[in-house]
Structure 1
Amino acid sequence: MYYVKSRSYLEGTMRLNKMTGRVIATMGIAAMMMTQTAGVMAAEQTESKQLKVVYYNQADYPGKKIGGSTIQAAGCGPTAVAVCYSSLTGKKADVPKMCKQAYKHGWYYTGQGCSHSVVPGLSKLYGMQCKGLGMDKDAVEKALRAGHPVVALMGPGDFTKNGHFVVLTRMVGKDKVKIADVGSRARTAETWSLKKVIRQGKEGANAGGPFWEISVKEEKQEEPDYKQKMLDGHKNIDAVTNAIDKIAD
């Protein structure tokens, strides 16, 4: 035996189907918008800073003195600090002046070169913050990913036979690093293994070395209001839901 469904029953079924469709559509849109909001939040939290490097080379000052020697032969320390200063502030550094200041403050000894204190000393003199990192590879990587240059005092190896200051400027991938070698444009153009660079750091360095993180005091930036972003997302979802209701009605 067959039964003919009543008109009211069919209309009720149609309304139920419309309501189900609206719920499914709203849930889909909500999930999509929540995913997009979460993606924006994650990107903002993990974004690393990129340092715009200003490069100086010791050989660019022929005949200029540091104590009883020349900048080209013995001015790597002040020149490395100059790289950090200009890269962080965007201001031009006077390298010969910085070398004279290093000598004046007792951070350079004729015939021996710059003391390790030249890095924190000149940094403070030029309004920068200097943090000794020792041989801590993780701390060096963290500093670079924060956009802070790291002055390195290198021992015998790829960069020097005795001792030489360079500047680590940024990470490339997981374990590669770019270096501003103030004594060599050729080595500056290369990409180096961070592990290898750390291993070649000068043993027995003092004043917090052989690696120093250099930074400037940054203006405190207002933290993104993630709660407000979520509320705005909910408002958008409600607006979409209301639009769907009007179409379905």
Structure 2
Amino acid sequence: MGRRLTEEQRKKILQKRKQNRLVTIKIIGIFVLILLVFIGGRIIISKIFSNDNAIDTNKEIVNESNKESNKESDKEIKKDTVKELVKDTQSEGDISVDVLNNGDDNAKTGKIENKYANEKISKADLDKKIASLPDILKRKIELYPESETTVIRYQEAKEKNISKDISIDFENSKLFDRKVKLPYLNQWDERWGYEKVDDQYIAISGCGPTSLSMVYSGLTGDISKNPYEMAKFAFENGWYDKQGGKYELFNSGAQKLGLKSKEIKSNEDSIKKNLDDGNVIVALVVPNGYNDFSQTGGHYIILTDYNEENKLVIYDVNSYNNTNKTWSFDRVLAQTKVLYSISK
């Protein structure tokens, strides 16, 4: 038979069990408390970092906003500065808004093109503008219709103080898809076409000085001799008058500017040899039944290269269209009176 527990022993066992349960409850309570503290800490830390990120984000937004604000302020300052410059210089009589805008009109495109060619004008306005032109300029349009879009701006050009600077043309020439990159200058350009030397417009008789201006600036990089300055230089030295440029302009005139110049034979072999040597050639051309370059008397064009198809690449100061074409040797030589080979 088993041994029976006394009443006192049973009480001790029950009391011990009760103590064990209390210990277990305490342990569980402590564990739960630790767990709650841990979870609470995570939540608090998370909120702190969240607030920090929000602060950083707000700072970034504020910084970006300040940057944009500063940019706008800079723009306004620049605008105001330009306005002040224009106001100051206009009061001195040195410049006009048109001078500042001229650079935009002649932006670098790498192309030789008339910036007014595609402008639309009503027939009534066109007729009115042509009617107001001097007779010699009306005749210019009749003989060379390509010049119309610029020549009709004669009155505006006379009233404005337009810069004759050719730096944009010089920089634009560097982008030309041509072996020889001369700045393209047109004799009826509004910057100088309606200035007179020996009582005649450069637009009418200035092909010689304009051609030499192109050659000189292209070979030397000196852009101080724009067509108007070159026309005055030529006139003062007796190589240019109201009838146009004389032969000596591309011989004695070129040499006085520090260039080398010589007359060469008017044949294909001579042209190729001089072009292959890196020279440019100025050709005095006459209509001779073709009228490609001139409708009346003599005219100067510049030969700079020939392509794989044996066609000449030229610059014609009286025609964007002619300049953007290539020409057979026979066609050019049939209209050529004299050739000058020019180099640095």
1:40-119 to 2 correspondence within 5 Å? 50-60=179-189, 61-92=192-223, 93-110=225-242, 112-119=243-250
Q: Counterpart of 1:83 in 2: which secondary structure?
A: helix
1:1-249 to 2 correspondence within 5 Å? 50-60=179-189, 61-92=192-223, 93-110=225-242, 112-156=243-287, 157-161=291-295, 162-173=297-308, 175-202=310-337, 210-216=338-344
Q: Give, in whole Å, the separation in 2 of the partners of 1:151 and 1:62.
A: 21
Q: Give, in whole Å, the separation in 1 of the partners of 2:331 and 2:194.
A: 34
Question: By how many angstroms is 1:199 displaced?
Answer: 1.5
Asked if structure 1 preserves the Cα contact closer than 8 Å seen for 2:207 and 2:244, the reply is: no
Q: Partner letter of residue 124 of structure 1?
A: Q
Q: Partner letter of residue 158 of structure 1?
A: D
Question: By how many angstroms is 1:85 displaced?
Answer: 1.1
Return the index of the structure with the highest Cα Rg: 2
Q: Counterpart of 1:82 in 2: which secondary structure?
A: helix
- Structure 1 gaps of 5+ residues are 1-48, 203-209, 217-249
Q: Deviations over 1:127-159 (max 9, x none)?
A: 000110131321111111222110010110311
Question: By how many angstroms is 1:174 displaced?
Answer: 5.0
Which structure has the highest helix share of the two?
2
Asked if structure 1 preserves the Cα contact closer than 8 Å seen for 2:188 and 2:194, the reply is: no
Q: Partner letter of residue 123 of structure 1?
A: A
Q: 1:174 to 1:146 in 2, by over 3 A?
A: farther
Q: Give, in whole Å, the separation in 1 of the partners of 2:246 and 2:193.
A: 22
The CA RMSD measured in Å over matched residues stands at 1.7
Deviates more, 1:96-105 or 1:82-91: 82-91
Q: Counterpart of 1:183 in 2: which secondary structure?
A: coil
TM-score, reference length from structure 2:
0.44
Q: Partner letter of residue 105 of structure 1?
A: N
Structure 1 runs (4+) greater than 6 angstroms displaced: none
Asked if structure 2 preserves the Cα contact closer than 8 Å seen for 1:133 and 1:213, the reply is: yes
Asked if structure 2 preserves the Cα contact closer than 8 Å seen for 1:62 and 1:71, the reply is: yes
TM-score, reference length from structure 1:
0.61
Q: Deviations over 1:197-245 (max 9, x none)?
A: 112102xxxxxxx1111101xxxxxxxxxxxxxxxxxxxxxxxxxxxxx
- Structure 2 gaps of 5+ residues are 1-177
Q: Counterpart of 1:57 in 2: which secondary structure?
A: coil
Seq. identity, %:
34
Q: Partner letter of residue 108 of structure 1?
A: Y
Asked if structure 2 preserves the Cα contact closer than 8 Å seen for 1:170 and 1:178, the reply is: yes
Asked if structure 2 preserves the Cα contact closer than 8 Å seen for 1:51 and 1:88, the reply is: no
Q: Give, in whole Å, the separation in 1 of the partners of 2:266 and 2:215.
A: 20
Q: 1:72 to 1:172 in 2, by over 3 A?
A: same
Higher relative contact order (CA 8 A, sep 6+): 1
Asked if structure 1 preserves the Cα contact closer than 8 Å seen for 2:259 and 2:343, the reply is: yes
Q: 1:78 to 1:146 in 2, by over 3 A?
A: same
- For these two proteins, the number of residue pairs brought into alignment is 160
Q: Give, in whole Å, the separation in 2 of the partners of 1:182 and 1:56.
A: 6
Q: Counterpart of 1:63 in 2: which secondary structure?
A: coil
